[in-house]
A and B are shown apart, each in its own frame.
Chain A
Amino acid sequence: MHLFDFPDRLSPMLVKELRQGMRTKAFVGVFLALQIILGVILLSAGAAASSDDAGSTISNIIFIFFSIAVLIIQPMRGITSLSSEVKGNTIDMMVLTRLSAWRIVTGKWASIVSQSALLLVTIIPYLILRYFFGGMNLIGEIVFLAVLFLSSAALTAVTVGLSASSSVILRSVLPMIALPIGAYSLLMALMFGAFGGGSMSTFFSLATDESRIFTSVYLAACTYYGFFMLSTGTSLIAPYAENHSTLRRLISLAVAITAAVLGSMSFTDADALPFFMTVVLLPVFAISLSEFAPLAAPTYRKFAKHGAPGQLAGLFLFPGWASGFFFCLVLTAIAAVPFLVNRPSYGGNDSFIYGLACLAGLLFPAVIINLFRVNGPQRVSNYVLLLLASIVLSTVLSGITSSLSNEDLLWLFCWLPPVLMFLEEAGGNSDEVLVASFVMCAIYIGTLLLRAVHSYRKSIIEIRAHSDTE
């Protein structure tokens, strides 16, 4: 076998991206800067060797610089990964090879993650040297490094997935704001001690049930969100006839069922459950309710050949926002289960108001983009921006209301779903807020239902007309 044939065993996309990526100034700069900084730190640490906490201080500094590299700089390199291919019209040329859209996206992602792994490998010698300064929590630091690395992989999946969007705000501005804020929060937790006052490495030592459960759930969440964002990016660059929505929705369905089971068993806190379910369902709602993929004949045929059951499944699993809405109704029903199971233990209306407000909050942007047909091609970004705008506007209204000590203003804006939560928090009449939440949900669901039925019927008629002409 030829020496240069080793890369034959790897994905062509990974080989290409590594060839390009390892030559970029961003990677070379980060690599060299990290080595120089860590080298200087270890040399200067010799002076502090007598200090009892010199070892943990060195660990923290290493983790901080490593975090900046893998949680901010490396994921940010994903911002242009697919958009540059789309702009350069090279996606088409790749799609015409044996590379599927999924392999293109995952190849891009794997390349950046591989380079992050290379950075991870290069800090290991420093951590070994740091061992001699004492006070090392070996398991905690290894698990924490793994958590940082997986977080980096998930964040990279987010930026790579979003980079296929035509919206500059969604693919660039939001990640550039969100990544530093997220990483800063994590670093603050690292520096000042979080999770009960202990350090991160202590927390991640897996010594307690809380540590083990949190770490497991966190890793599962990173995997799910990472997959979801890569799948979304795949949908955005794939040819029309390829259907990536169905698998994504089926996996989201499994995750929603798992979350509902966990929620039914473990959430005794009435306020936490709605937010837990919202965090789980937010990505699938955002994509399903704004998906603009047309229904292509090959996709339709795959469902139609199974007769009535296939057609029924297609109602929820065809690409496009109309079937996405029906699918979201199913997810809503699943998410309602833990509320109903735990109802006896929840005293007031809080959890139901929060639950309904969260549901209405997820539906509200979809109602706006469907009623006003805001920029068809940029529906996903419009959905996300409207969602953020509704939260920001509601927060501002809440601040104004609290300074005026008068909640009437909030009632004027009760059609903005987050306002319903602020109304509840402001001590409004709980029954009235509950009724308002029900009414808003009913209006939004009804509006979307009418539009979705119309859109779905039109797409089915269209696809049958197309089949007739062949």
Chain B
Amino acid sequence: MSNSAITVHNLYRFFGPLQAVNGVSFEIPHGSVCGFVGANGAGKTTTMRILASLDYPTMGHAEICGINVTHHPAEVRRLIGWMPDHFGNYDNMTVLEYLDFYARALGYKGAERRQRIDEVMDFTDLVPLADRFSNKLSKGMTQRLCLGRSLLHDPQVLIMDEPAAGLDPKARVELKHLIRVLAKEGKTIFISSHILSELGEMCDSLLFINNGRIVHHGDSESLKKSTDILGGVLYDVQLDGDPQALSDWAVLQPNIEFLESRKNGGRIRIDTEDPNKAADVLARMVKDNLRVVDFHREQRNLEDAFIDILANLEKNQPAFATPPPLPSQASLLPQEPPYDP
């Protein structure tokens, strides 16, 4: 068995002139949770679909547990559970019948099938919903049902494309809890999401993709540090009064950068880690008649790191990873749109 649960090497996927995936390479070890982050259209879903054997790479190869996804799709499908970013449910079919159908389709029969369905319904807390029609479920319940479906054959690797999209906070917490439990059971989880703070909490590593290329791969702490090119310390400042006053004040100050507005103030960056300097800044605020009611240090978060990476790329300064060069054969590739019946 391969050391990595997921191996992607020099993967390309072109749709005519669009280079959706452009020389992506990475490895994800067994039993780890990896977050896949990128803007819309960055190539996340295409990469995940190739890994799930649902799409075909233009070049390069991908493996799940050492098995090539294009050469042996049937074997790969037994190893993976797939949660797409959006999907419909069936009319006139209950939750139990829905899971029963997929269990049959996966080859389970008789008592073994009923046992698998019971286990999955129990794990995803779907038992009270067993007789509800699947198309009448809320988004959160539907996601749990989809997770249950993807777990029916007890896959080693779970590929989840934006599973938290559109969920209310309660449903997100439930989903996060389920993912944590699965991670503890030793499953490899490859998950994409726009909610970076949640990924940071759940994931052992994070992959950032932009324009089809991997721009960072590492754990969240190293990501925060390595992308902090400007340095300094972030502070949350809350005022009693007009919050606009903070940005107006910050613009005039040397060594202070106003980052974002918040309800009663904003977030600033002071270009040094010296706590005395922070005290000086606070003193100046008070002196300049800003009615500060809260002034506290904040950790750099993943959103900051992600934005810094994108900003760097815009400046054509790929500081973190150099994508592999395009092979010469690329000139031979088709310029047709994808096959879409």
Contacts and interface: CB of A to CB of B under 8 A. Distances in A.
Interface of A: 1-2, 5, 7-8, 12-13, 15-16, 19-20, 23-24, 84, 86-90, 92-99, 164-166, 235-237, 239-241, 292-294, 296-298, 376-377, 380, 458-459, 461-462, 465-466, 468-470
Given A166-B341, A239-B56, A466-B59, A99 B84 contact: no
Interface in B51-83: 52-61, 68, 70-71, 73, 77, 80, 82
B54 A239 contact: yes
Interface of B: 10, 49, 52-61, 68, 70-71, 73, 77, 80, 82, 84, 86-93, 97, 101-102, 104-107, 109-111, 113-114, 149, 327, 329, 332-334, 336-341
Contact of A12 (B70, B77, B82, B104): B104
5 contacts: A8-B110, A23-B92, A93-B102, A164-B341, A292-B341
A465 B59 contact: yes
A241 B56 contact: yes
Closest 7 CB pairs of A and B: A88-B88, A465-B329, A236-B341, A12-B104, A97-B105, A377-B340, A240-B56
Contacts of A461: 332
Given A90-B87, A166-B340, 10 more contacts: A13-B105, A88-B88, A93-B87, A237-B341, A239-B56, A296-B56, A377-B340, A465-B327, A465-B333, A466-B57
Given A93-B87, A96-B52, A241-B56, A458 B334 contact: yes
Chain B interface main SS type: loop
Nearest to A100: B74
A441 B2 CA distance: 57
A92 B87 CA distance: 9
B77 A294 contact: no
B323 to A, nearest CB: 15
Contacts of B89: 88
Nearest to A373: B336
A219 B327 CA distance: 54
B104 to A, nearest CB: 4
B87 A98 contact: no
Nearest to A377: B340
Contacts of B97: 16, 19
Given A294-B334, A462-B334, A96 B77 contact: yes
Nearest to B61: A470
Contacts of A296: 56, 70
B158 to A, nearest CB: 12
Contacts of B339: 240, 292-294, 377
B73 A5 contact: no
Contact of B71 (A5, A84, A298, A469): A298
